[in-house]
Amino acid sequence: GQQPPGWHGPALWMNSFLPSWTSDLPSMNMADSVVYGPPAWTLDHDALEVIWTVFRPGYLVAIFVLGWAMNVAVFGQFKVDYCTVLGIAKDEVVSPGRLIVVALSLLVAFGACRFALLDAPSVLAILWSMLAAYAIGLFGLFIHLPSALDQRFRCRIPIARALWRSVCPDTSREIPFVEVLVADGLTSLSKVFFDLAVCTCVASSSLLDNSPEPLSSQLLHGFEIYSVVALNSTAAIAGARPVVGVKHTLWGEHLTECRRSAFPYFAWSIPFLLRARQCTIAARHAPDSLARDLQRVNFLKYLTALPVIAFAFCYVRAGEFSQMLEKEDFEFMWALAAVLNSMFSFLWDLVMDWGLLQPGADAFGLRQVLLFKGVFGFYHVLILQNLIGRTLWSLRWSPQATLTLGAFLLGTLQQSAEVFRRCLWNLLRVEWECIKKGVHRVEKHFPV
């Protein structure tokens, strides 16, 4: 989103968590060309945004793990046999407590890395370090471990298998429910794909750029060095803060160019394309014509996300594709596509994914069989929360929200809310699958 004039986005908010530095540190006259000042973290908004963007995916994944811990705890409390419908073996079950430990460990590790890397020689080193850490973590799901460790971490097998099959599905059979659930989860993490693509683009652009790394991000013993057009040597020697003519930074340029590139937008669309492909395979193996038609409608539902992405891309590249359409025209089409996608998805959630709105139900708008009984308003609260989560993107057009939070922090909250919405969505989705499969009361439930 566009930042309001005069607003520094998340820089002020993020700097409040960092050590304060004096604004008048002694300066050194180095051929009247450079000056020592406060660290980059307190000055360079663009460098801050790059760093927080590369850390954001890790925090969102940790929130997702916490959400699944909540799911498992609720399933155990209400005796919902999620293991059967997900095809999870007894030795692959993970307790909520262990999932919470994993999630908190991730959060602590990312927080520790964030502050440990303050002493990194450059922002570029931080970018590549975090991107490598994500690649190693993903690779760790699939790597073969020694038998002792493999038995201890058997819980990784279902998620690794489902992730692999989401990308490379077996077209000779119907898509298992666990693969559908994982692919749906990836759609809620679609902006993670966008962030990682942007960070990869920024890191690659900085690496391939013939000019030195942006000077506003070069650190020397914790202090920033930046170029100036003119330096008052007397003022510098006296310790007064010099007036900087031009502060030359390329991080803003790299961010702008990468966010205008088609690569992040393609990455954003990948989860929806994977889920749409699953629908085509499910339609091919559908038992009857009605099930086949429903899978085709579901296929169209996921495709409605593509115009949202396409118009967002056209919005940032307005003026390059057509002289007839202005930026406001693409913004209107972007919002219209988002409304269509949100309403389509919300109604599909209610009727198909949750099995609600059945005629003759005892409770208004629900269904005859309910597994989460005894909690007043449970289903209606989840329906309302799902609607709010599906439409939270509209805050982008709220001047109050943008002015209060800034574009970056607002986007972070929206992504976190989408992960939270998906975790609550899982409860009713797994419940409805148990009811459809006839295993809605556990007979051989594994302890959680």
Taking only the tens place, the pLDDT of each residue in 81-102 is 999 999 988 878 889 999 999 9
Per-residue pLDDT tens over the stretch 146-155: 777 777 777 7
Q: Residue 6 corresponds to which tokens in the numbers above?
A: 């005069």
**What is residue 91's DSSP assignment?**
G
Single pTM value for the model: 0.81
With contact defined as beta carbons under 8 Å apart, do 382 and 428 qualify? yes
Angle, helices 289-303/327-348, rounded to nearest 10 degrees: 150
Is pLDDT of 59 > 90? yes
Neighbours of 79 (CB within 10 A): 12
First to last CA, the chain: 43
Q: How far apart are CA 73 and CA 79, in angstroms?
A: 10
Is pLDDT of 72 > 50? yes
- pLDDT higher at 376 or 68: 68
Q: Residue 216 corresponds to which tokens in the numbers above?
A: 């506003």
3-state SS, residue 224: strand
User: Where is mean pLDDT largest: 108-112, 152-156, 160-164, 295-299?
Assistant: 295-299
Look at 208-217, 336-345, 363-372 and tell me which has the smallest mean pLDDT.
208-217
Per-residue pLDDT tens over the stretch 387-429: 999 999 988 888 888 888 888 899 999 999 999 999 999 999 9
Q: How far apart are CA 54 and CA 134, in angstroms?
A: 10
**What is residue 353's DSSP assignment?**
I
